[in-house]
Amino acid sequence: MDTTLQDRESALDLLSENAMTVLKSRYLKKDENGRVIETSDEMFHRVASSIAKIDALYDPNADIEKIKNEFYEMISNLEFLPNSPT
């Protein structure tokens, strides 16, 4: 599914203020001083890449870039929201 940047920004607009606070405090990368150093979109790319790389363990011929892009689209459209235990 292809989306425009405007669609992805609209999806991010759906996140509540609390959701953005949680993203900033728990999930976005920070520097050594605790300052956030990545955007939500960069985090989506990072997470999609990490998920896609796992496929190579099960299929050495997997198209990791294609899989990464598919996961990125799902995450950025808020269709797939991976999380961690709290």
Quick one: pLDDT at residue 1? 42
| 67 occurs within a structural domain | yes
For residue 5, is pLDDT > 60? no
Name the maximum alpha-carbon separation found in the chain.
41
| 51 occurs within a structural domain | yes
**Count of domains observed in the chain:** 1
For 23, the domain range is: 5-76
| 24 occurs within a structural domain | yes
Quick one: pLDDT at residue 12? 67
| 19 occurs within a structural domain | yes
| 81 occurs within a structural domain | no
Question: What are the beta bridge partners of residue 36?
Answer: 30
**pLDDT, tens digit, 9 for 90 and up, residues 25-59:** 999 999 999 999 998 889 999 999 999 999 999 99
Write the CB contacts of 82 (distance below 8 Å, at least 6 apart in sequence).
47, 51, 75
**pLDDT, tens digit, 9 for 90 and up, residues 60-73:** 999 999 999 999 99
